[in-house]
Each structure stands twice: as C-alpha cells, then as structure tokens.
Amino acid sequence: MSRKDRMSGNEAVAYAIRQVNPDVMPAFPITPSTEIPQLVSTYIANGEMDTEFIPVESEHSSMSAAVGAEAAGARSMTATSSCGLALMWEELLVAASNRLPVVLTLVNRTLSGPININCDHSDSMGARDTGWIQIYAENNQEAYDNFIQAFPIAEDERVHLPVMVCQDGFITSHAVQNILLEEDSDVKEFVGEYHPEEYLLNPGRPIAVGPYAVSNYSMEAKYNQEAAMIRSKEVIKEVAAKFREKFGRGFDLFEEYRCEDADYIMLIMGSASGCAKQAADELRQQGVKAGVLKLRVFRPFPAEEIASALSKCKAVAVMDRCESYNGHGGPLSCEVPAALFMNGINTKVINYVYGLAGRDFTVSNAAEVFGELKDAAGGGQNIRQCRYVGLRTREGQ
C-alpha cells in the first residue's frame, strides 16, 4: 500500500537505499549528492539498516571499493556528482568491463570549468561510453522509482552491467515534492535477494576478476559488453512492467506525452520535461499539436523505438543539457538524427542546447522552441542548428 509523503530527491533516494538495504556502500561527499550518504549513514547509526558504510578518501576510492565489494559477492552501490564522477572515470570502465552490477546514484551537476555547482548533464553524458546503463528522472518520484528498479536490471543474468540512476542537481535533489513511498516489505520483495553465480569469496570455485586481457581476448570481451547492453533493453522493459503491475506507475524506455497525433515533438530528458509538457498543454489549447518525448533511458540507446515514435511528426526539437563541442549540439543531437536516418525516417530535426550550468529553462522557452519547429516544418523560416536557448549574448560571439 503506497504512503503519501513529501521529500526532496536526495531524501527519496536515501529512503529507497534504506529499503533495498545493500550490503556495502562506500561514498565520499560532493555537492549536490552529499545528503544521500549522510542520510544513509544516519539510517545505519539508528539501526534501521545494516549496510556496511565505508567512508573513503575520494570518489575514485569509493568506486574502487564498490568494485571490490561487488566482485567479492556483495550487493554494492555508491553516490556522487560532477567532478566526483570524473574522478571515478577509470573505475567506471573497470566495473563495466568486469560485468559487475554496481548501482550508482548520480545527482547531475555541471563539470568545471568555469567553476559552477548547478545542474546540467555534462557529468553523466561524459560517462556515456563507459559501458554503464543510464536512467534519468524527471522528478523526485521517478528518482525513487528508478533506484528501486536499478538492482533487478543490473543483476539480471542477461545483463550483469552497472547502472547509473540520474537526477538533476538541486532542481530535484533539493526541491521537496509530494511522493508515494512503498512499504519496506514490498520493495524488498520486488528487488529480491542477490545471489551471484560467480564471486571472489567462494572458496569452492576460484575465479579471476580483472585480469590482463591480451589482444586475442579483449575484443571479444568488449563485444560481450555490447551484447549485454543490447539485451538490457528488454530487461528494462520487463522490470518496468513488473513495477507498474505492483505499484501502478512508471514507463520503460521513454514517456510519450501527447505524441499520438503530434505535429511537433520535443525530445528532452530530466527535470525540464515538466516545462516542455506545460508548454505542449498550452499550445494544444491554441490548436497547435505539440507533444513531448521524455527519454528515460539513454543507455542502452533506444534508437529503433525513438525512430518509430517520431516517424509521423513534422518536426522534432532535440534538447541537450550539455555541449559536445562538435558544432551541432550535444550527445542527443548526434544520436537521435542518426537513429532516424538509420531507420529510414526523414523527420525534420532541429538541435538545441539549454540549461547549461543551471541556466533556467522555462515554459516560455519551450513554447518558443515549439514555435520555431512550426516555422521550420512549414518552410517559412530556416532555423539554424545548435541554437542555445536563453543565451544572453548573440550566438557566435
């Protein structure tokens, strides 16, 4: 039975961690994710969970400890943000290549420089090719729900890959929202017990973890990671369906909001999706068929599903909350057009960059983007690609 409460996104994730009660959690504090290990350590001190909390000297050490604990057979997780994730880079690749189902809760924050502590997706998008599954939340409820689903996804025998559960720094991590919390027993039943088939502390079946791989074997290991990432798409769908059946909410790879007959669709991730939905609602009242495709899962990238969802609209705005410095946008602005092209879809695409380092993205900003989509689809205006939404100076200076 769901219980109504009010929590920040950090509080919601910490509450989910308490309910899952992982075996080991190494962590090092960094804004804006500091509250998560702080709250978890308080739960442990109060006797509400028996997770082994390991205070470490850096984020590199926290992921190293998580890798070691997971390899030893313990359900393990950690939390970080921004530069902390960057300091983990080496170990992110180690966790994925060793096929260790570690869960990382990431509170998105821009990577320096210039120095800034506010939200964009440059940290997680920088790690997009490390072999981790990536799941994004629009609000506190989804941050809570996504974390509960992360372990069944990661630990599935068809997957065995680490999962990064992302939420927007300060916007969701510190904002208090209404939320539905589930009973501890129901969450524990949903997540289940972790019984790895192979682990280091099994004296009857010795194994090696992380050995040097010569050229004759390394390429095959990379292929197996990719094959597992592809398989994880179906597992994510299955876990989402079970979650909906048990708790009555959620979706799998993405949410289609008023897209069934939309002429103009905005593809976006994270907390700004709410502004996009509000703009779509207001434009619908004016007779404009606007819709929003909110991407939940970025890795594995749902190329075929996105292409199908965008196949009937006249134009789509692809919204990146980070920059790739390639001249035409961020990671989504590369992958979405490629998905459409590879699947034979000729929908008009305009790439945008928004919300860098916490820059506001408002309902009026979203409405302006929809207006430009309408003009571009009608041939009345030639919209330049890679536009910065809300830029205070002229682009190009």
Q: What percent of the chain has pLDDT over 90?
A: 93
Instruction: Assess whether 191 and 54 both reside in one domain.
Output: yes
Question: What would the pLDDT profile of 35-65 be if each residue is shown by its tens digit?
Answer: 999 999 999 999 999 999 999 999 999 999 9
In a domain, 30, yes or no: yes
Question: What would the pLDDT profile of 350-374 be if each residue is shown by its tens digit?
Answer: 999 999 999 999 999 999 999 999 9
For 8, the domain range is 3-247
For residue 383, the model assigns a pLDDT of: 78
In a domain, 73, yes or no: yes
- Work out how many domains the chain is built from and give that number: 2
In a domain, 293, yes or no: yes
Q: Choose one of 189, 224, 247: the last residue of a domain.
A: 247
For residue 378, the model assigns a pLDDT of: 83
For residue 7, the model assigns a pLDDT of: 98
* Mean pLDDT computed over 230-236: 98
Q: What is the pTM (predicted TM-score) of this model?
A: 0.97
In a domain, 397, yes or no: no
Instruction: Assess whether 290 and 309 both reside in one domain.
Output: yes
In a domain, 38, yes or no: yes
In a domain, 393, yes or no: no
Question: What would the pLDDT profile of 68-112 be if each residue is shown by its tens digit?
Answer: 999 999 999 999 999 999 999 999 999 999 999 999 999 999 998
Instruction: Assess whether 84 and 226 both reside in one domain.
Output: yes
Rg of the chain taking only CA atoms, in angstroms = 21
Confidence of residue 397 (pLDDT cuts 50, 70, 90): very low
Question: What would the pLDDT profile of 130-185 be if each residue is shown by its tens digit?
Answer: 999 999 999 999 999 999 999 999 999 999 999 999 999 999 999 999 999 999 99
CATH of the domain at 362: 3.40.50.920
Instruction: Assess whether 91 and 127 both reside in one domain.
Output: yes
